[in-house]
Amino acid sequence: MQRGFTLVEVVVTLAVVALLLAAGGAFSLGTRPYAVRAAQSQFDALLRTARALASTSGNGATIVVEPRNANGSAAGFTATLYGGRPNAVPLASQNVPPLVVDANFAETSLGAPPLSIFLSSAGRATMLGGYPDRAHFDTPAVPAIATEPQTCPASGSYTLTFSAGGGNATLPLPC
């Protein structure tokens, strides 16, 4: 008696494997745009929370956007909300958990993190690239700065870009 598989069994097995590979590939490609949309949506929610905090704090609010880790080896960013602006004293974080996202983040004129978004109590936004510097990544407080930036891009808004897996989305941040 011979042992082995019939041609029909081999063809059916290959068809099932091909269908599983096609479904898995479609699923992984479909999650990439979702990651970008989710990052944009989550950041927008954090921005709304920051504006609400800024309007009630008397000294605005700050969002510090940093790479996921100090050496930049992991994709994504972390955004932490602080009450006040760092114009007088070091900031202490609020009781809002940091936003940890797998998508990458950049601002058109400032580039990739670290960077900070300062919101006045009136809701006016300014941004500063390179702040806080990498020496302060593992400290709980953000150091004070002498002066906040007062300039706004000529377009009247900053352009925040979220990207992952070949997809990207932008979020305008009016000054």
What pLDDT, on the 0 to 100 scale, is given for residue 97? Answer: 87
What pLDDT, on the 0 to 100 scale, is given for residue 11? Answer: 58
What pLDDT, on the 0 to 100 scale, is given for residue 158? Answer: 93
Is the pLDDT assigned to residue 24 strictly greater than 70?
no
Q: Is residue 27 part of a domain?
A: yes
Q: What's the mean pLDDT in 141-158?
A: 79
Q: What is the pLDDT of residues 72-117, one digit of tens each?
A: 556 889 998 888 887 766 666 677 888 898 889 999 989 988 899 9
Gap between the Cα atoms of 127 and 163, Å rounded: 20
Count of domains observed in the chain: 1
Measuring CA to CA, which residue among 116, 112, 110 is closest to residue 142? 116
Gap between the Cα atoms of 14 and 132, Å rounded: 55
Q: What's the mean pLDDT in 46-50?
A: 93
Gap between the Cα atoms of 43 and 27, Å rounded: 24
Alpha carbons within 13 A on the beta-carbon side of 133: 3
- Domain with 116, as residue range(s), is 7-174
- Under DSSP, the state recorded for 3 is -
Q: Is residue 124 part of a domain?
A: yes
Q: Is residue 30 part of a domain?
A: yes
What pLDDT, on the 0 to 100 scale, is given for residue 122? Answer: 87
